């Protein structure tokens, strides 16, 4: 009982000391746990889920994301525990010399880590509650909803956080206990003299691996670029090629991270001019002691930085594509298509809309089937054997409704309207210079993507516009109705149409099974709401992942640097005794930390730029301009360096404090 009381007091004392020494780490895991709780609270809120049908999938996506975050936080805590273990190894060895058993030392460390984790857990609950209100506010603002949704605490979300907490600490503490089991008194006393083993003792082997890693990285990025284009992005084997590219890139990142620092240091140390300039020799030697033994860690940190930059860029690109996606989904307030019922039945839609909205104009148009399907052949669509055709007068009515310039065609001309993503299939296609419609030869006047939307014609990813007289002998394949309203439509209108006009939208087969054809009705308000929800969901999750990853990298580098500041304090004291003033000393520390924080960033930034540039080949059709992705990339870098910079500044302040203590 006395022994347990002594261990308990010792654990509490050590926990207090750890909180002081590892404040950056404690803040990071507290924020990580609070963000987990915040997003769980948001997705478990009925009010939020009911905002949009897309929000229901938010929970499933978040579950997968949280699994990734658990492993990242686990890596962070495990690495920090290792640093703490190394720092206190002599103390623990002394306990063994005093007769305390290894099992009791293990219990002591477990209690300390659990107490430290509990501090983070307790603070994460109120902080997570505040974060959840902030996330809810962002979602509501993005969706354009006037009222504010209050997120309440619930035991299910807290229970999930407890599960994440237990999963993380069981994995970490199991690894810690496994490590302690192998330790002896000698290991404890001299453990702080050890570090990650130097991976390369041969310069020749190191150089070969470096060159091979660069080549693998270049091949991986070229392979990624070759599949990121509209021509091949839809092919089934593209996913396989992209996966191979990612695996090769991971190998390259670890290979370059494991060798580049050692190579650069070797080059610097061989040059007397560089080596003996100012404090370069001290900085190089100090960094060498870490870089040459932190190869694997640098590789892991580079991968986390690369993932964080990709998440930030994907969030920006997705927001940039918002307007285009909305216009391609539902440019008109209401549009309906049918192939079973006459236009008289479509008038029922007008009556339902007229009950709640002021109707400005309605347009009815037909899509005709051209059996030659000359254009369809180039879209590689296996389900349709005709070309969808629209007469010029109907097309011009639709253009006027969107305040677009109308089209003029000569008697021997035709026009193609298609999506931006599939424009490459008909652009500069010599085979489409001339086609036959109703046995008449027509030549192509041009193409347009701005007036296209997904349901302009459902029998193809394009529509052929021809002078009115060429459709008189063609069969009608689809009937469409477009309604323009004075007021902005909402998702409630689509729900009302579904309920009131179920007899037009639901058919029953011979076996009595219902076939729901709700896709035949498109309401702009619904499209905007769903796109807003998707944008909010992706942006918040991407920012969530990016923040955790950047924080993990910053924390690991911070605690490693602060631990070294205490461990090698004598180096800086020696410099002071040699006459180096504080201004020069702090400049040396800044340079040292800039190099340490900068090494994992360089390759990640280059690789992310190449990958985002390749991905732009697919997304540029949805963005305002071809090169706007570069603006998004710069914005992502600013966000990254803002968060990363906070950790660098905190590390620099802590570093100065550590070397000044008891000087």
Query: Pairing relation of β-strands 506-508 and 462-466?
Result: unpaired
Taken in order 77, 78, 82, 83, is the CA torsion positive or negative? negative
Q: Which pLDDT score, from 0 to 100, does residue 663 have?
A: 45
The residue ranking higher by pLDDT, 1 or 337, is: 337
Least confident of 235-244, 629-638, 639-648: 235-244
Contact 545, 72 (CB under 8 A): no
- Both tokens of residue 173? 């503490």
Quote the CA–CA distance of 316 and 304 in Å, as a whole number.
19
- Both tokens of residue 328? 């391609």
pLDDT band at 617 (very low <50, low <70, confident <90, very high): confident
Quote the CA–CA distance of 197 and 293 in Å, as a whole number.
6
Helices (H) and strands (E) in the chain, counts: 22, 11
How does pLDDT run across 118-176, given as a tens digit for each residue? 888 999 999 988 888 887 777 666 666 656 677 788 888 888 889 988 888 888 888 87
Q: Give the burial class of 274: count Cβ atoms within 10 A of its Cβ; 0-12 exposed, 13-18 middle, 19 or more buried.
A: middle
pLDDT band at 544 (very low <50, low <70, confident <90, very high): confident
Widest Cα–Cα separation across the chain: 103
Q: In whole angstroms, what separates CA 379 from the centre of its chain?
A: 31
- Per the document, the length of the chain is 663
Residue 382 scores a pLDDT above 80:
no
Quote the CA–CA distance of 320 and 314 in Å, as a whole number.
10
The residue ranking higher by pLDDT, 632 or 373, is: 632
- Phi, psi (rounded to 5 degrees) for 621: -65, -20
Quote the CA–CA distance of 20 and 221 in Å, as a whole number.
44
Average pLDDT (376-384) is 76
Residue 193 scores a pLDDT above 60:
no
- Angle, helices 23-43 vs 102-143, to 10°: value is 50
The residue ranking higher by pLDDT, 77 or 579, is: 77
- Phi, psi (rounded to 5 degrees) for 387: -95, 130
**Which three-class secondary structure state does DSSP give residue 443?**
strand
Contact 586, 196 (CB under 8 A): no
Cα angle 58-64-65, degrees, rounded to a multiple of 5: 80
- Phi, psi (rounded to 5 degrees) for 144: 75, 30
CA dist 47 → 151, 185, 495 (Å): 8, 59, 18
pLDDT band at 1 (very low <50, low <70, confident <90, very high): very low
Beta strands in 327-379 (DSSP E): 334-338, 359-370
pLDDT band at 297 (very low <50, low <70, confident <90, very high): confident
């Amino acid at each position: 009982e006395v022994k347990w009381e002594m261990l308990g007091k010792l654990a509490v004392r050590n926990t207090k000391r750890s909180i002081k020494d590892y404040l950056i780490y404690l803040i990071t895991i507290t924020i990580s746990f609070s963000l987990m709780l915040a997003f769980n609270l948001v997705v478990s809120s009925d009010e939020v889920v009911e905002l949009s049908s897309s929000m229901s999938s938010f929970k499933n996506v978040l579950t997968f994301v949280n699994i990734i975050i658990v492993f990242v936080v686990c890596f962070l805590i495990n690495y920090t525990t290792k640093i703490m273990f190394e720092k206190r190894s002599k103390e623990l060895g002394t306990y063994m010399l005093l007769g305390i058993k290894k099992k009791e030392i293990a219990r002591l460390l477990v209690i300390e880590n659990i107490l430290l984790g509990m501090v983070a857990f307790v603070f994460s609950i109120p902080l997570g509650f505040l974060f959840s209100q902030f996330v809810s506010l962002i979602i509501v603002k993005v969706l354009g909803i006037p009222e504010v949704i209050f997120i309440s605490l619930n035991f299910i979300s807290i229970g999930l956080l407890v599960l994440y907490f237990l999963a993380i600490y069981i994995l970490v503490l199991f690894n810690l206990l496994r490590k302690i089991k192998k330790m002896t008194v000698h290991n404890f006393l001299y453990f702080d003299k050890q570090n990650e083993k130097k991976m390369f003792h041969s310069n020749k082997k190191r150089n070969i691996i470096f060159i091979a890693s660069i080549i693998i990285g270049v091949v991986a990025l070229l392979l990624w670029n070759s599949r990121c284009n509209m021509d091949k992005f839809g092919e089934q084997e593209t996913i396989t090629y992209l996966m191979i590219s990612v695996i090769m890139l991971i190998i390259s990142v670890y290979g370059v991270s494991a060798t580049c620092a050692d190579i650069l240091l070797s080059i610097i140390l061989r040059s007397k001019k560089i080596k003996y300039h100012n404090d370069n020799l001290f900085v190089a030697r100090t960094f060498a002691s870490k870089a040459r033994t932190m190869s694997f860690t640098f590789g892991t940190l580079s991968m986390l930085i690369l993932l964080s930059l990709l998440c930030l860029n994907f969030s920006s690109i997705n927001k940039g594509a918002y307007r285009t996606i909305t216009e391609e989904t539902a440019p008109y307030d209401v549009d309906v298509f049918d192939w079973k019922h006459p236009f008289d039945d479509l008038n029922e839609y007008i009556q339902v809309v007229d009950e709640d909205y002021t109707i400005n104009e309605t347009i009815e148009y037909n899509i005709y089937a051209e059996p030659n399907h000359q254009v369809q052949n180039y879209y590689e669509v296996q389900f349709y054997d005709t070309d969808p055709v629209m007469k010029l007068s109907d097309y011009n009515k639709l253009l006027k409704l969107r305040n677009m310039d109308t089209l003029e065609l000569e008697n021997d001309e035709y026009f193609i309207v298609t999506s931006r993503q599939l424009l490459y299939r008909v652009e500069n296609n010599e085979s489409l210079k001339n086609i036959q419609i109703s046995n008449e030869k027509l030549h192509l006047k041009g193409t347009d993507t701005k007036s296209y939307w997904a349901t302009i014609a459902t029998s193809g990813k394009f529509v052929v516009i021809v002078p009115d007289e060429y459709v008189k002998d063609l069969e009608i394949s689809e009937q469409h109705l477009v309604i323009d309203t004075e007021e902005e439509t909402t998702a409630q209108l689509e729900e009302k149409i579904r309920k009131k006009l179920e007899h037009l939208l639901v058919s029953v087969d011979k076996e009595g099974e219902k076939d729901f054809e709700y896709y035949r009705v498109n309401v702009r308000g619904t499209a905007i709401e769903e796109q807003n929800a998707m944008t909010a969901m992706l942006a918040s999750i991407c920012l969530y992942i990016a923040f955790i990853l950047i924080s993990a990298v910053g924390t690991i580098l911070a605690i490693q640097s602060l631990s070294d500041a205490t461990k090698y304090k004598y180096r800086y004291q020696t410099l002071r005794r040699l006459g180096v003033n504080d201004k020069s000393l702090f400049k040396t520390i800044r340079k040292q930390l800039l190099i340490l924080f900068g090494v994992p960033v360089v390759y990640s930034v280059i690789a992310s730029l190449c990958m985002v540039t390749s991905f732009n080949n697919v997304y540029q059709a949805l963005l305002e301009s071809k090169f706007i992705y570069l603006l998004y990339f710069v914005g992502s870098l600013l966000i990254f360096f803002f968060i990363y910079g906070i950790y660098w500044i905190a590390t620099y302040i802590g570093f100065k404090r550590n070397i000044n203590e008891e000087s």
